[in-house]
Structure 1
């Protein structure tokens, strides 16, 4: 089999994997989630090796009226806080009623990061299997 064809098949497989994970996992999360607005309490900046990581602390009220305060590590909020939001700004989020600390931002990046987190183990396995297949031929 041609190496170029194998790489193309690997890329198509990755695309299909993300599509199906989005279709089943992310859409299921979104359908069962409750939309609300969260207040940005603060934004911490951590210096990584080559860039900075911005992690906001958000606060919102769940459906029972309980106030939830949480750092938005990988919920889709951290990647978009570079210079977009300030303390006391409001941001739309989607959270699970059974576990309000399980939330994503209600935007494209929040959905993308959630999909990537769910698909990451399968993507890794698919890439390794593809590379083994390509280089053992």
Structure 2
């Protein structure tokens, strides 16, 4: 019988590193969001709004429940950073679309997020490798 302890230690250490990286990234987003007068969830929503999408799509990208995304979207809409528009093929759904002001703020946010990112110490190739490894670990067939 093999000793499972070395594997358990390795997994614990790896989980600690992934958790630490996640905390660093979250803090980075929070600090950059504050500079723009946003909350971290609002910044995350703006970052993820790469084009028109439904609330459900945004919630998936934000890794949250649609009700939480709705709360964030309501705040962004109040600031006139995005609009809810009719979906072209689904009468029941609305599409979230950035306003020109929202697009400009998103561009500024992306610039700020790129400054001193926790991942900036990695080359593009290393970031790609990390992404592929994490996808393999997270996305199981």
Higher RCO by CA contacts (8 Å cutoff, separation 6 or greater): 1
Question: In which range does the TM-score fall when normalised by the shorter chain?
Answer: 0.3 to 0.5
Could you tell me the TM-score, scaled by structure 2's length? 0.35
Could you tell me the TM-score, scaled by structure 1's length? 0.36
